Structure 1
Amino acid sequence: MTPEDMEKLAMTRFAIISAVRASGVVLMLFGLWIWYGDLLDTGGNWMVGMPLFVLGMAESMLLPRYLIRGWRSPPQP
């Protein structure tokens, strides 16, 4: 693999990790909006908002670590 290919691969992986983190933050904000806002019910709906918030937090904090760990290991022959 040439250095240019390695740099392109690293840039692609960085973009994917950044997109995963950003989508997790968006999901967290959407969950908070449902949880405390008047989007679904007056006064908020915690039964829908809280799980979305927790899923968004897990997506933004845990999923990038699993991706990095999977990409760090050498490929099997």
Structure 2
Amino acid sequence: MSTPEEDALAKKRFLAMNLVRLSGVVMILLGLLCALDKIDIPGARIIGVIFILIGMIDTFLVPLMLAKRWRS
């Protein structure tokens, strides 16, 4: 049986992982807007591609790394 402290810690970690995923998705969407020239800034395509790549890492890899770190 788990203690209330363990439950609270698990909820915080679950929330953190989902916020990381959500921020990654937002970054991907922002990158798509830049890459498709919907946002008018100099060098938007390059910035958009960078945002997309960082967002993909943030969405898919960082939650796995957090889970692995918290498991040990």
Tell me which amino acid in the other structure corresponds to 2:60. M
Task: Work out which of the two has the higher radius of gyration on C-alpha atoms and give 1 or 2.
Answer: 1
Q: 2:24 touches 2:57 (CA, 8 Å); kept in 1?
A: yes
Q: 2:37 touches 2:45 (CA, 8 Å); kept in 1?
A: no
Q: Percent identity at matched positions?
A: 33
Structure 1 stretches lacking a partner, 5+ long:
none
Normalised by the size of structure 2, how large is the TM-score? 0.89
Greater share of helix: 2
Deviations 1:14-64 (A, max 9, x none): 0000000000000000000000033125xx932110011010010010000
Q: Hey, which bits of structure 1, 4+ residues long, moved more than 6 A?
A: none
Structure 2 stretches lacking a partner, 5+ long:
none
Normalised by the size of structure 1, how large is the TM-score? 0.84
The 10-residue stretch of structure 1 (7-16 or 44-53) with the greater mean CA deviation from structure 2: 44-53
